[in-house]
């Protein structure tokens, strides 16, 4: 969700197909890739990895994005599970 009051994890939601997504809010407006850059920076800080390890693989111009995160799978899985746990509090 671009153009929000703060960068934050804002819960989980399911699309019409039942696919579960992590809902993230960023402050930047969706112009010239600003919101995408902020999304990558926010995720990198939350997960504790370099921004270069995060890549938007689809949905760059869409609200729904698929993101590839490279690194140690077990460590990343634990950190993402922590983000999900924060989202459902």
pLDDT value of position 69: 95
**What are the Cα distances from residue 56, in Å, to 33, 61, 65?**
11, 10, 7
How wide is the angle at C-alpha 60 spanned by C-alphas 2 and 80, nearest 5°?
70
Mean pLDDT, rounded, for 20-37: 91
Residue pLDDT, tens place only, 38-72: 999 999 999 999 999 999 999 999 888 999 999 99
Cα–Cα dist 64/40, whole Å: 14
58 secondary structure, DSSP code: E
Question: Does residue 87 surpass a pLDDT of 80?
Answer: no
Confidence of residue 27 (pLDDT cuts 50, 70, 90): very high
Residue 58: strand pairing partners: 66
């Amino acid at each position: 969700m671009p153009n929000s009051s703060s960068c934050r994890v804002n819960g989980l939601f399911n699309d019409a197909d039942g696919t579960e997504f992590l809902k993230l809010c960023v402050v930047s407006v969706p112009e010239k890739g600003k919101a995408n850059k902020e999304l990558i920076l926010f995720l990198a800080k939350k997960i504790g990895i370099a921004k270069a390890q995060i890549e938007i693989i689809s949905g760059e111009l869409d609200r729904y994005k698929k993101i590839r995160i490279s690194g140690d799978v077990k460590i990343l899985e634990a950190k993402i599970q922590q983000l999900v746990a924060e989202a459902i509090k």
